[in-house]
Amino acid sequence: MDTMPHDESSLAVPLLVDKGQHRLGCNVGDVESNSSYTSTGNASSFKTVFHGLNALSGVGILSVPYALSSGGWLSLILLFVISSAAFYTGLLIQRCMDVDSDIRTYPEIGERAFGNKGRLLVSVVMYTELYLVATGFLILEGDNLQNLFPNMGLEVAGFEIGGRQSFVIIVALLILPTVWLDNISILSYISASGVLASAIILISIFWTGAFDGVGFEEKGTLVNWHGIPTAVSLYAFCYCAHPVFPTLYISMKNKHQFSNVMILCYILCTFGYASMAILGYLMFGSNVQSQITLNLPTNKFSSRLAIYTTLVNPVSKFALMVMPIVNATKSWLPMNCNTRAFSFLTSTALVISSVILALSLPFFGDLMSLVGAFLSMTASIILPCLCYLKISGTYQRFGFEMVVLGSVVLLGVAVVIFGTCTSLLEIINHLK
């Protein structure tokens, strides 16, 4: 995700495909893919690597220093464990699709394994994750704009609105017209800058630490057992791109190269996430915030570049996040509700509800930790294993593969239980 997204939330960032082949799904199957795809499968391995990197590069990179701070230096091992597990389950998605050539989307894998209930479960997890990541975008925008303009505030009808709340509302108003668009393909091209944005942020933060007086003097702690669930949850949020993998696979010309593409994508993204975590922790130690951009000195060009880069991407990605939800809602209702007016009302209601949630739960780290623990681990780790077990029939025979799958599922379940409970407790404590 992710993003986020899976992207990172990046979960719903459409792939860039050849001109004339870009299309936004109109039926249920297309809607649930959360991205466009090329039916002819003519994408090169290089292009697929770019798409994979874009899907895995998201706002999660802002939170990995906070994750490392929560769990201590040894928690960095868990980043590599989560990355390896996510890579493995990505290959399981490929294997599930190889069983049935008609499978084109992630929910169709769930349907092939467990029928309509499986499709429904996968769809609900995906759409809930999209909605919460979009809400996280609003929180991110409000926090960073307040950091840049701390004295901002509004007074409406005698009510004073704080700076962060004002920015959340203003950004939502700016984003609202984009969710009304019938064709948002142009936004997919703008949002396909996740790789570049992550690189700019990483370089800018390194420059801030090395040349703008911040330094890398913090020692940190070896391990903080209390913060391990939060750390793992945030690490999981970084690898929530699995709903996009079916699109990557079917778009490839040389599908046998998919595993090599995944290896390269995961190595590069994990290197970026680990580098950001280490740099941020060395720069700010236990004082690092849930978004590292909030720690940066705003009077330095490198810091402002990182913050402005952080602010641009969510504006274009918000509509891409909520559009699959709008289209799915339309597909589930009678045909007489499938009108432009209904689409307008639905998309507007989604934005309004996201604003209300962002104002009610203004804690970016807690929300992303909850998304990572409950939704990302479910969609990226648990469901691919369960679907593969059912589709391949591996559950009927005990062997090494069964042991590996069982271990990965147990890891996912443990993170879901402990990470979700920890995130909910943190949210409750902050709301008190």
Identify the pLDDT of residue 36.
39
Contact at 8 Å (CB) between 408 and 88?
yes
Whether omega before 335 lies within 30 degrees of 0, making that bond cis, reads no
Average pLDDT of the segment spanning 124-130? 92
- Cα separation, 272 vs 286, in Å, equals 21
Amino acid at 170: I
**Is 11 a member of any domain?**
no
What are residue 72's phi and psi, to 5 degrees?
A: 85, 170
> How high does pLDDT run on average in the chain?
85
Contact at 8 Å (CB) between 134 and 347?
no
pLDDT band at 44, cuts 50/70/90? Answer: confident
- Cα separation, 261 vs 318, in Å, equals 27
**Is 16 a member of any domain?**
no
Which string of DSSP letters, residue by residue, matches 215-271?
-S-----S--GGGHHHHHHHHHHTT--GGGHHHHHHHBSSGGGHHHHHHHHHHHHHH
Domain containing 215 equals 28-431
Identify the pLDDT of residue 378.
96
The alpha-helical segments, DSSP class H, found in 149-193 are 163-179, 185-191
- Cα separation, 52 vs 252, in Å, equals 12
Identify the pLDDT of residue 154.
66
More confident residue, 35 or 60: 60
Please state, for a pLDDT cut of 90, what percent of the chain lies above it: 57
Identify the pLDDT of residue 185.
64
**Is 406 a member of any domain?**
yes
- Token pair, residue 84, equals 């390896």
Q: What is the pLDDT of residues 248-260, one digit of tens each?
A: 899 898 999 999 9
Q: What is the pLDDT of residues 283-339, one digit of tens each?
A: 999 999 999 999 999 889 999 999 999 988 787 788 878 888 888 887 776 766 667
Identify the pLDDT of residue 162.
73
- Cα separation, 107 vs 97, in Å, equals 11
**Is 115 a member of any domain?**
yes
**Is 260 a member of any domain?**
yes
Identify the pLDDT of residue 180.
85
More confident residue, 334 or 264: 264
Average pLDDT of the segment spanning 122-151? 91
The answer on pLDDT for 421 being more than 70 is yes
**Is 3 a member of any domain?**
no
- Cα separation, 141 vs 143, in Å, equals 6
Q: Which CATH number do you get for residue 78?
A: 1.20.1740.10
**Is 148 a member of any domain?**
yes
Least confident range of 14-18, 83-87, 187-191, 372-376: 14-18
pLDDT band at 183, cuts 50/70/90? Answer: low
Interhelix angle 163-179/301-332, rounded to 10 degrees, is: 50
What are residue 252's phi and psi, to 5 degrees?
A: -80, 140
161 forms beta bridges with 154
Please state, for a pLDDT cut of 70, what percent of the chain lies above it: 85
The alpha-helical segments, DSSP class H, found in 285-339 are 301-332
Coil/strand/helix, residue 315: helix
**Is 14 a member of any domain?**
no
In the block, residue with structure tokens 């792939």? 15
In the block, residue with structure tokens 């913090």? 218
Contact at 8 Å (CB) between 60 and 7?
yes
- Cα separation, 314 vs 13, in Å, equals 11
Handedness of CA 375, 379, 381, 382 (dihedral sign): positive
pLDDT band at 353, cuts 50/70/90? Answer: very high
pLDDT band at 158, cuts 50/70/90? Answer: low
CA angle 7, 291, 225 (to 5 degrees): 100
- Cα separation, 269 vs 6, in Å, equals 13
- Cα separation, 417 vs 52, in Å, equals 29
The answer on pLDDT for 395 being more than 80 is no
Average pLDDT of the segment spanning 61-69? 96
Q: What is the pLDDT of residues 211-226, one digit of tens each?
A: 998 999 999 999 999 9
More confident residue, 404 or 58: 404
Amino acid at 29: G
**Reported pTM:** 0.86
Identify the pLDDT of residue 25.
33
The answer on pLDDT for 74 being more than 60 is yes
DSSP 8-state assignment for residue 155 = E
Identify the pLDDT of residue 24.
30
Q: What is the pLDDT of residues 270-280, one digit of tens each?
A: 999 999 999 99
Amino acid at 195: V
How many domains does one find in the chain? 1
